[in-house]
Chains A and B, each alone.
Chain A
Amino acid sequence: MATFKDFRNDVKPNWCPGCGDFSVQAALQRAAANVGLEPENLAVISGIGCSGRISGYIHSYGFHGIHGRALPIAQGVKMANRDLTVIASGGDGDGFAIGMAHTVHAIRRNIDITYIVMDNQIYGLTKGQTSPRSAAGFKTKSTPAGSIEQAISPMELALTAGATFVAQSFSTDLKDLTALIEAGIKHKGFSLINVFSPCVTYNKVNTYDWFKENLTKLSDVEGYDPHNREMAMQTLMKYNGLVTGLIYQNTEQKSYQELVHGYSETPLSKADLKLDQSYFDKLVAEFM
């Protein structure tokens, strides 16, 4: 059986020292091993940005696509081979700006994949511009007078879009994060995990210390029930979205694969590509 070391490769990440993404990489490697995967059965599909490089830093199949499109690529991979474990990953710009439409629709489609967003509230790779997760007033190279747009609330948004698994974590909480990724992988349906992953170079506001001060663990909230959607929404609003842990899970909703009519039980990638002559003749006769 593979251990987390088997999911390491020999590529040195080009992330800055201290970047939160290192922990996400480690958590993903551990979670993959913990759920019993072999490297060849994992496909990591990533977007563009610092965090998008993660697919190249895991010893598994990896596809580094185009900006904002990790989710549709990942859904295509899963539809083609339902036996693969598919993780989509990218940053907050990737998932909540250029790729927002895909995020919302992947949530409501509920294909059985896990989406890990590394949320640093800034555009890092392009060297410091505002992100849809930047708070109002946040000063960046593209908002020198402070952002005058409101930040997106991805967890609330996911709940309203009909998400069946919504979680949030902080990159330094390696143990919690690993457990959430495992739960996400095991969840039958689409799982969204937003990870606060501080950018140590361009974000001087949302720092490790800032998160430590402002985050509340849901396990510390008395009576919190992650199966209660209304409570999830209220709690998110109460804490301004700054909570970590499993926010909401619906275990009753069937995944897309379970609902789609006629969908092959075995991976579609193994289907026989040649039609029978008699079947073809039948199709032809319908046009006569």
Chain B
Amino acid sequence: MINQLSWKVGGQQGEGIESTGEIFAIALNRLGYYLYGYRHFSSRIKGGHTNNKIRVSTTQVRSIADDLDILVAFDQETIDFNYKELHSKGVILADAKFNPKKPEDTEASLYAVPFTEIATQLGTSLMKNMVAIGATAALLDLDIQVFEEVVKEIFGKKGDQVVAKNMEAIKAGFDNMSANLSGVRTMQLAKADGKKRMFMIGNDAIALGALAGGCRFMAAYPITPASEIMEYLIKKLPALGGTVIQTEDEIAAATMAIGANYAGVRTLTASAGPGLSLKMEAIGLSGMTETPLVIVDTQRGGPSTGLPTKQEQSDLMAMIYGTHGEIPKIVMAPSTVEEAFYDTAEAFNLAEEYQVPVIVLSDLQLSLGKQTVEPLNFDKVEIRRGKLITDELPELEGKAYFKRYEVTEDGISPRVLPGMKNGIHHVTGVEHAETGKPSELAENRKAQMDKRMRKIQNIRFNTPVHKNVKHEEADVLFVGFNSTRGVIEEAMERLEKDGLKVNHAHIRLIHPFPTDEVLPLVQSAKKVVVVENNATGQLANILKMNVGHANKIVNHLKYDGNPFLPHEVYSKCKELF
């Protein structure tokens, strides 16, 4: 009996690898298992190795596993590319069709199963994926009925016969494997709690969070790994009176979002690094004109086109400091799918309350890794619009303008929407006076700059740092952001077993940096290990700038396109002691 399983299916892109993983995962999620997936894919439609690695557990998991129990292979490349992840008792289930060969340097066992042959006999080789699912089920001692519901949902549109054929294929795979199980190490999964939980990618949560947070319009340009956000919202927004416009480019997306936010609609735009680079001037416009703007950046491998389908966290500095000149800005970095939901909803509140651009930072692993999610609490989602005036305004004298940029104690000025009587004012990216009229006077410049920068000095943000602090004095403080939370948590658990005292701070509000929250943790740690997917240690540098203690800070960097594995974080720390 096992409590955890690490399963991977691989083959050529366009062969249905994605749906094989999907059907397997959805069925197990419905049984109440916790899942966490990672997709390895390339920037092409057909061809090239792709795989889907899924971790199944009876308790919550937030990272991929170090090793692999089962590898389902549709070609030799899948075996050659992935076998090293298999532990000594691991199993390769390979399609007999390509005459699979087991590499010499592995103790894992290989079983050739006639996936394609069985599928072809049943009508079409396309169903080889279903045969593979059936074979896996036999190995795990799962009742294949669990797949029926999912198969119905996916193939139901194609008719009952297609559903029946696919179920037949699963059964045939199951039977074939069961008949040949003697000597095979089966891995019976411990029963899960049977609770229904959501199974979604971070981008789903971001989009759902946007809807819950009052977003009714989106302007965006497709890009990996952000497109799922616009694809979800175009399905849902029409029912709420809104829509998504696919713009001609990222600049149009950002500026259209600024226009719509200015006119009073909570509007989202989302992209990845290359798109964010194009949006930079618009972000400055939002900052300067104090127009709310929410932008999602799903980080991927950079620079330039970089590694468009791979994990990286190298946009951090660009998101904090990008755009010329100086503006107030908020940068948030949720680390789980749940946080991605709440933070995106909250981003719309912060954008309107502080009248600033808010960047919701994600990374490819968080955005695309599909995982089991604990129930979302809709009561926690608030709608707060700050100093937006909706009541009638007093009459203005003559041609006077409303003081949209009034200098106030907290720096935040009252805001009215176009269409409002007695609210007429001008908005410009040129330095301006309180009415919005251009002004280059030195005194005015200073007053307006101070007012803008003052806005986020006392920002109210719930849980700016996710803290797991068990020790007053720690040997190690782990610091990270976005999707590395799970690997850090697992490494931490192992290090604690080894007798080390480990604390963990995962930064959820990147900018303005929550120095007050982080400084005491840094002070009370012997070493601070900053875990991040980039080559220059961007978060470590931010940490040094804000809390000092540079001599304690150790970089743990990975920038080969793959997410960290728990053992990599663990061993880095072991080296230090």
What are the 6 A-B residue pairs with the smallest beta carbon separation, nearest first?
A: A76-B259, A262-B238, A264-B241, A273-B214, A269-B264, A80-B263
Shortest C-beta distance, A230 to chain B (Å), equals 27
Given contacts A69-B251, A76-B258, A288-B30, contact A268 B242 (CB under 8 A): yes
Residues in chain B near residue A270, CB distance under 8 A: 264
Residue of B nearest to A45 (CB): B259
Decide if A287 touches B259 in the complex (CB within 8 Å). no
- A61, A65, A66, A76: which contacts B267 (Cβ < 8 A)? A76
Decide if B376 touches A284 in the complex (CB within 8 Å). yes
Decide if B241 touches A263 in the complex (CB within 8 Å). yes
Decide if B399 touches A287 in the complex (CB within 8 Å). no
Segment among A35-43, A150-158, A197-205, A209-217 that sits at the interface with chain B: A35-43
Given contacts A66-B429, A288-B199, contact A83 B419 (CB under 8 A): yes
Decide if A8 touches B399 in the complex (CB within 8 Å). yes
- Known A69-B252, A80-B262; further 14 A-B contacts with Cβ < 8 A: A61-B425, A62-B428, A76-B262, A79-B243, A79-B245, A79-B259, A79-B260, A80-B263, A84-B263, A262-B237, A270-B264, A271-B241, A275-B378, A287-B204
B residues bordering A, Cβ < 8 Å? 29-30, 196-200, 204, 208, 211-214, 216-217, 219, 236-243, 245, 247-249, 251-253, 255-267, 281-282, 284-285, 289, 373, 375-376, 378, 383, 398-399, 401, 417-430, 436-438
Docked complex Cα distance between A77 and B427 (Å) = 13
Q: Give A254-270 interface residues, CB cut-off 8 Å to B.
A: 260-264, 266-270
User: Can you name 23 A-B residue pairings with CB atoms under 8 Å?
Assistant: A10-B399, A40-B424, A45-B259, A60-B424, A61-B424, A64-B428, A64-B429, A64-B430, A65-B285, A72-B252, A72-B253, A72-B256, A73-B259, A75-B259, A76-B217, A77-B259, A78-B263, A101-B249, A102-B248, A262-B237, A262-B239, A284-B375, A287-B199
Residues in chain A near residue B249, CB distance under 8 A: 101
Residues in chain B near residue A73, CB distance under 8 A: 255-256, 258-259, 262
Q: Give A219-275 interface residues, CB cut-off 8 Å to B.
A: 260-264, 266-271, 273-275
Q: A56 in the interface, Cβ–Cβ < 8 Å?
A: yes
- B196, B256, B427: which contacts A75 (Cβ < 8 A)? B256
Decide if B429 touches A79 in the complex (CB within 8 Å). no
Docked complex Cα distance between A40 and B395 (Å) = 12
Q: A283 in the interface, Cβ–Cβ < 8 Å?
A: yes
Decide if B421 touches A77 in the complex (CB within 8 Å). no
- A10, A76, A104: which contacts B260 (Cβ < 8 A)? A76
Given contacts A61-B425, A268-B217, contact A288 B196 (CB under 8 A): yes
Residue of A nearest to B284 (CB): A66
Q: A1-45: contact bitstring with B at CB < 8 Å (1 yes, 0 no)?
A: 000000011110000000000000000000000000011110101
Decide if A79 touches B217 in the complex (CB within 8 Å). yes
Decide if B208 touches A62 in the complex (CB within 8 Å). no
Docked complex Cα distance between A63 and B418 (Å) = 10
Interface residue total, chain A, C-beta cutoff 8 A: 60
Shortest C-beta distance, B462 to chain A (Å), equals 19
Shortest C-beta distance, B55 to chain A (Å), equals 19
Residues in chain A near residue B213, CB distance under 8 A: 273
Given contacts A43-B263, A64-B430, A77-B259, contact A72 B214 (CB under 8 A): no
Q: A181 in the interface, Cβ–Cβ < 8 Å?
A: no
Decide if B424 touches A101 in the complex (CB within 8 Å). no
Residues in chain B near residue A264, CB distance under 8 A: 241-242
Residue of B nearest to A10 (CB): B399
Q: A147 in the interface, Cβ–Cβ < 8 Å?
A: no
Decide if A268 touches B211 in the complex (CB within 8 Å). no
Shortest C-beta distance, A287 to chain B (Å), equals 4
Shortest C-beta distance, A37 to chain B (Å), equals 11
Shortest C-beta distance, B366 to chain A (Å), equals 16
Residue in B251, B284, B426 whose Cβ sees the most chain A Cβ within 10 Å? B426
Q: A133 in the interface, Cβ–Cβ < 8 Å?
A: no
Q: A63-100: contact bitstring with B at CB < 8 Å (1 yes, 0 no)?
A: 11110010111111111110110000000000000000
Docked complex Cα distance between A264 and B198 (Å) = 30
Q: A168 in the interface, Cβ–Cβ < 8 Å?
A: no
Docked complex Cα distance between A78 and B262 (Å) = 11
Residues in chain B near residue A80, CB distance under 8 A: 217, 259-265, 267
- A38, A59, A263, A274: which contacts B243 (Cβ < 8 A)? A263
Q: A277 in the interface, Cβ–Cβ < 8 Å?
A: yes
- A65, A262, A280: which contacts B378 (Cβ < 8 A)? A280
Shortest C-beta distance, B448 to chain A (Å), equals 15
Residues in chain B near residue A78, CB distance under 8 A: 259, 263
Docked complex Cα distance between A287 and B420 (Å) = 41
Decide if B264 touches A72 in the complex (CB within 8 Å). no
Shortest C-beta distance, B302 to chain A (Å), equals 24
- B208, B251, B417, B422: which contacts A269 (Cβ < 8 A)? B417
Residues in chain B near residue A59, CB distance under 8 A: 399, 424
Decide if A262 touches B256 in the complex (CB within 8 Å). no
- B238, B252, B260, B426: which contacts A77 (Cβ < 8 A)? B260
Residues in chain B near residue A287, CB distance under 8 A: 198-200, 204, 373
Decide if A65 touches B255 in the complex (CB within 8 Å). yes
Q: A55 in the interface, Cβ–Cβ < 8 Å?
A: yes
Residue in B252, B263, B376, B428 whose Cβ sees the most chain A Cβ within 10 Å? B263
Residue of B nearest to A274 (CB): B383
- A11, A38, A262: which contacts B241 (Cβ < 8 A)? A262
Shortest C-beta distance, A212 to chain B (Å), equals 34
Shortest C-beta distance, A11 to chain B (Å), equals 6
Docked complex Cα distance between A261 and B437 (Å) = 39
- B208, B214, B259: which contacts A274 (Cβ < 8 A)? B214
Residues in chain A near residue B285, CB distance under 8 A: 65-66
Decide if B399 touches A64 in the complex (CB within 8 Å). no
- A102, A263, A267, A288: which contacts B197 (Cβ < 8 A)? A288
Residues in chain A near residue B260, CB distance under 8 A: 76-77, 79-80, 268
Decide if A72 touches B383 in the complex (CB within 8 Å). no
Docked complex Cα distance between A269 and B265 (Å) = 5
Shortest C-beta distance, B311 to chain A (Å), equals 23
Q: A187 in the interface, Cβ–Cβ < 8 Å?
A: no
- B219, B243, B262: which contacts A262 (Cβ < 8 A)? B243
